[in-house]
């Protein structure tokens, strides 16, 4: 049977032709009843596309319409300068999408679905973002100013609100997510899906490798030069994500960690550390800034095209006179972690006639069996100058069991030296060493600037014995008071994948909790046990071996808790509120004697503080610290004896 052929003719009211100015990895089609509000800034069009009827913000920004272009220009320049990458597109649009639109965190890229070339897909009426609540934020700016005794005009409040909104696109992380369990604190963050870095990198460059698919993510993180968790997060968590990543890399190969779902939240930290360590020798050879500029130049020659990772390593290896392929073989094995001793920096002010300089000496010892690399940054008050100086931040290579003395000469005194041990066993991995004591001398030769290899280094001081909380044979804790079945069950199911936990200064843990801090004592691991104050039922005990009888001074390592740093003298929060409000109580047991000893943390400086002087026979001295104090928290760290 013959069937009649049916032809359907479709008539289009309009035909839209979309052509990109550049090659693009994706095309996004969004259809809706939109309104466009745009402004042209430096030959680029910046737009907001909102659904009709959803414009809740324009009227609130009417007073600063003429100021908005300059604010956009300033934010764009800040982002481009921060990463030394340009925004290549001629348009940038924030487009309103339904509130249920969701994007997922990806393993191999920072770009999520809300970030598309030239555009950001933003939730309806900004309903999920506090930064988009324009009316409330303007009102809050005025309220906060009034509380501080200041007046803020409508225009200033609107500008601050606009900048707060634009900063949303510069943040790498989301807001903090707090959790607490019996005094142990944990702060987590997730990637900010609205972070604009993909517009500068992911939609312009692509580094690929069949063997290492993570290569593009590695370069992406390396170019961001992102520091680890903020100092607040690190102190609250007791261990940073980079430090957790180090401990994992010591146990598992990089390839295995890339597919490890249990620790997927640490994958960026692991990848970033691997990238930094891969390129650290190259930075050491030609300088950190110079090497990163070379990498950006190679990428720029391959803009909007695919660049093979192996070719990139070949090119960068020639520039840095280095083999960058061999280290990749180690990615198939667990990582050997070096560990370092960081000595106190020495600064000498030398005045010769009309010339005055500061000679800085920083000694670092690699105590491990593995070669290592550290990052050394010398910081000044307000910055040394506007001129780039490669000496201020550089990589230093230290061989196994080697001590280097870094000697540098400056026109002004440094404020501090920050040493990041990168991939290492050190906790914290990054230590800030303040410059406190400056020796002043006149008419003295100025040391030559270079890295000296130091031989015959010893840590031992004659007649001195130190016992730290990390010494499991000479340090012990009382058993916790656990009452009821629920606490016992929580102990069994608690996350013990990492030894160190965070503690809350305003709600300390009810049992001894191990944490780390750069102001604690420790050769490689600066840790201490922390517990809430109590009746004296919880104790920490140090056993100090005495080999030679004699007169000894006994010291305890003092760390001042936050309540004293804020000028508080006790739980009531008043300075000097009463005798003994800031005391720790000790018992010193020796030669069948037992004596009480005290340290007033309010009066003591941080570091070694004397408990008393005693005559010890060649036996064992026992020092016991109790939780009987009016301070909120007790810290058990290290003790030492020094023979007179």
Asked whether residue 609 falls in the same domain as residue 565, the answer is: yes
Identify whether 198 is part of a domain: no
Identify whether 391 is part of a domain: yes
- The better pLDDT of the pair 440, 502 is held by 440
List the one residue out of 381, 416, 402, 505 whose CA is nearest residue 455.
402
pLDDT exceeds 60 at position 183: no
Q: What is the predicted pLDDT for the residue at 8? A: 61
Last residue of a domain, one of 269, 299, 332: 332
Q: What is the CATH number of the domain that holds 632?
A: 2.60.120.260
> pLDDT tier at 231 (50, 70, 90 boundaries)?
low
Beta-carbon-side half-sphere exposure of residue 81 (alpha carbons within 13 Å) = 6
Q: What is the predicted pLDDT for the residue at 327? A: 93
Q: What is the predicted pLDDT for the residue at 571? A: 42
- The better pLDDT of the pair 554, 494 is held by 554
Last residue of a domain, one of 395, 424, 454: 454
> pLDDT tier at 484 (50, 70, 90 boundaries)?
low
Q: What is the predicted pLDDT for the residue at 567? A: 54
Q: What is the predicted pLDDT for the residue at 488? A: 53
Q: What is the predicted pLDDT for the residue at 42? A: 92
Q: What is the mean pLDDT of the chain?
A: 88
> pLDDT tier at 185 (50, 70, 90 boundaries)?
low
Residues 477-495, mean pLDDT to the nearest whole number = 61
pLDDT exceeds 60 at position 6: no
Torsion of the alpha carbons at 50, 55, 60 and 65, rounded to the nearest 10? 40
Asked whether residue 162 falls in the same domain as residue 304, the answer is: no
Instruction: Domain of residue 49: give its range.
Output: 34-167
> How many structural domains is the chain composed of?
4
Asked whether residue 354 falls in the same domain as residue 322, the answer is: no
Asked whether residue 494 falls in the same domain as residue 627, the answer is: yes
Identify whether 351 is part of a domain: yes
Asked whether residue 379 falls in the same domain as residue 320, the answer is: no
Residues 116-128, mean pLDDT to the nearest whole number = 92
Identify whether 478 is part of a domain: yes
Name the percent of the chain lying above pLDDT 70.
Answer: 90
> pLDDT tier at 353 (50, 70, 90 boundaries)?
confident
Q: What is the predicted pLDDT for the residue at 568? A: 45
The values of phi and psi at residue 78, to 5°, are -65, -45
Q: What is the predicted pLDDT for the residue at 505? A: 75
Cβ proximity of 583 and 600 under 8 Å: yes
Separation CA 239–CA 499 (nearest Å): 9
Q: Based on the number of CB atoms within 10 Å of its own CB, is 409 exposed (0-12), middle (13-18) or buried (19 or more)?
A: middle
Asked whether residue 449 falls in the same domain as residue 480, the answer is: no
Separation CA 409–CA 636 (nearest Å): 39
Identify whether 177 is part of a domain: no
Asked whether residue 280 falls in the same domain as residue 356, the answer is: no
Q: What is the CATH number of the domain that holds 346?
A: 2.60.40
Last residue of a domain, one of 332, 356, 380: 332
- The better pLDDT of the pair 301, 188 is held by 301
Return the minimum-mean-pLDDT range out of 176-190, 208-222, 347-361, 536-550: 176-190
The DSSP secondary structure of 364-400, one letter per residue, reads EEE-SSS-EEEEEEEE-TT-S-SS--TTSEEEEEE-T
Name the percent of the chain lying above pLDDT 90.
Answer: 66
Q: What is the predicted pLDDT for the residue at 589? A: 95
Separation CA 520–CA 498 (nearest Å): 19
Instruction: Provide the pairing of β-strand 119-123 with 91-97.
Output: parallel
Identify whether 23 is part of a domain: no
pLDDT exceeds 90 at position 230: no
Q: What is the 3-state secondary structure (H, E, C) of 426-475?
A: CECCEEEEECCCEEEEECCCCCCCEEEEECCCCCCCCCEEEEECCCCCCE
- The better pLDDT of the pair 366, 227 is held by 366
Q: What is the predicted pLDDT for the residue at 569? A: 41
Asked whether residue 97 falls in the same domain as residue 122, the answer is: yes
Q: What is the predicted pLDDT for the residue at 179? A: 64
Q: Which residue has the tokens 């290896």?
A: 317
Can you name the residues that pair with 567 across neighbouring β-strands? none
Asked whether residue 485 falls in the same domain as residue 611, the answer is: yes
Model confidence pLDDT, tens digit, residues 70-107? 999 999 999 999 999 999 889 999 999 999 998 888 88
Separation CA 137–CA 163 (nearest Å): 11
> pLDDT tier at 576 (50, 70, 90 boundaries)?
very low
Identify whether 188 is part of a domain: no
Asked whether residue 314 falls in the same domain as residue 347, the answer is: no
User: If you count DSSP H runs as helices and E runs as strands, how many of each does the chain have, helices first?
Assistant: 14, 32
> pLDDT tier at 21 (50, 70, 90 boundaries)?
confident
Identify whether 195 is part of a domain: no
Asked whether residue 605 falls in the same domain as residue 493, the answer is: yes
Beta-carbon-side half-sphere exposure of residue 397 (alpha carbons within 13 Å) = 12
Residues 95-121, mean pLDDT to the nearest whole number = 90
Asked whether residue 387 falls in the same domain as residue 530, the answer is: no
Cβ proximity of 339 and 371 under 8 Å: no
612: left (phi over 0), alpha (psi -120 to 50) or beta: left
């Amino acid at each position: 049977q013959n069937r009649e052929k049916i032809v359907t003719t479709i008539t289009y009211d309009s035909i839209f032709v979309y052509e990109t100015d550049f090659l693009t990895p994706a095309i996004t089609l969004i259809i809706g009843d939109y309104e466009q509000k745009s402004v042209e800034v430096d030959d680029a069009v910046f737009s907001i596309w909102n659904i009709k009827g959803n414009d809740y913000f324009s009227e609130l920004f009417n007073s600063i319409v003429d100021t908005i272009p300059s604010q956009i220009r300033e934010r764009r320049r800040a982002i481009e300068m921060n990463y030394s990458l340009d925004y290549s597109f001629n348009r940038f649009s924030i487009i309103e999408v339904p509130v249920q639109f969701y994007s997922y965190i990806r393993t191999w890229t920072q770009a999520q679905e809300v970030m598309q070339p030239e555009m950001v897909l933003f939730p309806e009426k900004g309903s999920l973002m506090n930064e988009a609540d324009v009316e409330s934020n303007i009102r809050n700016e005025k309220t906060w100013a009034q509380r501080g005794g200041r007046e803020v005009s409508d225009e200033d409040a609107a500008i601050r609100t606009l900048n707060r909104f634009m900063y949303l696109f510069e943040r790498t992380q989301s807001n903090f997510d707090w959790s607490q369990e019996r005094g142990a604190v944990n702060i987590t963050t997730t990637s900010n899906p609205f972070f604009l870095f993909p517009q500068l990198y992911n939609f312009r460059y692509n580094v690929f490798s069949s063997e290492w698919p993570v290569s593009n993510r590695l370069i992406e993180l390396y170019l961001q030069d992102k520091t680890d968790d903020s100092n607040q997060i690190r102190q609250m968590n007791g261990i940073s994500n980079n430090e957790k990543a180090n401990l994992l890399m010591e146990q598992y190969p990089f390839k295995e960690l890339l597919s490890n779902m249990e620790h997927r939240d640490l994958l960026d930290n692991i990848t970033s550390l691997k990238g930094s360590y891969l390129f650290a020798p190259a930075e050491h050879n030609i300088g950190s800034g110079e090497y990163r500029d070379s990498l950006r130049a190679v990428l720029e020659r391959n803009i909007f095209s695919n660049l093979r990772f192996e070719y990139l390593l070949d090119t960068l290896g020639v520039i840095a006179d280095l083999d960058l392929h061999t280290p990749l073989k180690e990615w198939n094995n667990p990582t050997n972690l070096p560990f370092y001793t960081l000595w106190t920096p020495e600064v000498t002010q030398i005045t010769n006639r009309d010339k005055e300089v500061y000679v800085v000496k920083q000694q670092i010892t690699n105590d491990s069996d593995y070669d290592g690399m550290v990052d050394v940054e010398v910081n000044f008050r307000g910055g040394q100058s506007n001129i780039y100086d490669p000496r201020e931040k550089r990589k230093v290579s230290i061989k196994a069991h080697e001590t280097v003395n870094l000697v540098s000469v400056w026109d002004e005194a440094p404020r501090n030296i920050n040493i990041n041990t990168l991939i290492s066993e050190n906790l914290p991995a990054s230590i800030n060493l303040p410059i406190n004591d400056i020796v002043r001398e006149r008419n003295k030769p100025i040391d030559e600037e270079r890295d000296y290899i130091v031989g015959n280094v010893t840590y031992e001081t004659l007649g001195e014995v130190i016992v730290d909380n990390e010494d499991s044979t000479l340090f012990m804790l009382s058993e916790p008071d656990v009452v009821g079945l629920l606490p016992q069950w929580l102990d069994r199911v608690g996350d013990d994948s990492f030894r160190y936990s965070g503690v809350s200064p305003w709600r300390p843990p009810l049992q001894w909790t191990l944490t780390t801090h750069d102001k604690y004592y420790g050769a490689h691991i600066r840790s201490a046990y922390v517990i809430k104050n109590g009746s004296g039922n919880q104790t920490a005990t140090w056993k100090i071996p005495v080999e030679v009888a004699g007169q000894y001074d006994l010291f305890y390592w003092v760390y001042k808790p936050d309540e004293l740093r804020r000028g508080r003298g006790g739980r009531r929060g008043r300075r000097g509120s009463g005798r003994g409000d800031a005391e720790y109580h000790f018992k010193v047991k020796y030669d069948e004697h037992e004596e009480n000893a005290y340290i007033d943390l309010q009066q003591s400086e941080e570091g070694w503080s004397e408990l008393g002087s005693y005559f010890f026979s060649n036996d064992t001295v026992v020092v016991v610290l109790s939780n009987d104090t009016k301070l909120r928290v007790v810290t058990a760290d290290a003790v030492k004896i020094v023979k007179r």
